[in-house]
Amino acid sequence: MSIVHIYYGTESGNAEMVADDVAEVLQGQGLQTVIVEMADIDIADLADIERAVFITSTYGEGDLPETTAPFHDQLVEQRPDLSGLSFGAFGLGDSVYETYNNGIDTLRSTLVELGARQLGETAKHDAASGEPATDLAQEWATTLLGVSA
């Protein structure tokens, strides 16, 4: 069985917590998971990955957070062929900002542009809701791979 790679990019660490939540759910479904911070991804390896989950927050005025930005820059520069990749997308943001969840939208469009296929809907957690990101992460992850079946 293939491994599901869970990649997170974060500013204050909340996306890292969501990565743990998603991993827990997928492991509960009998899947193997590997959690990697986006800053540590080797772009050359990405073309061989079949299933992944990308989790990122949005920083400031719609920008990518500290550890998503360098990864995204490399994707844009190196343009790897990602046609073998299926991925889930989870964003963290705050609807008080007009640029609510821009971060995951930016990343998602670049991945699709490079040939990757998105699984299910993009999950968007809204910090303004007051609901814990954990709840949405668990609910979303439960059906994520069912969508691809």
Contact residues for other proteins, defined by CB under 8 A: 10-14, 16-17, 20, 59-61, 66, 96-97, 128-131
Name the packing angle between helices 69-78 and 102-113 (round to 10°). 20
Q: Nearest approach, Cβ of 10 to other proteins (angstroms)?
A: 7
The residue (of 78 and 129) whose beta carbon lies closer to other proteins is 129
Count CB neighbours of 22 within 10 A. Answer: 27
- Nearer to other proteins among residue 35 and residue 47 (C-beta): 35
Q: Which residues contact 106 (CB under 8 A, 6 or more apart)?
A: 64, 72
Q: Closest CB to other proteins among 19 and 89?
A: 19
Question: Least separation, in Å, of the C-beta of 79 and other proteins?
Answer: 28
Burial of residue 80 (number of CB atoms within 10 Å: 0-12, 13-18, 19+): middle
Nearest approach, Cβ of residue 25 and other proteins (Å): 18
Closer to other proteins by CB, 34 or 128: give it: 128
For residue 49, give both structure tokens. 């990955």
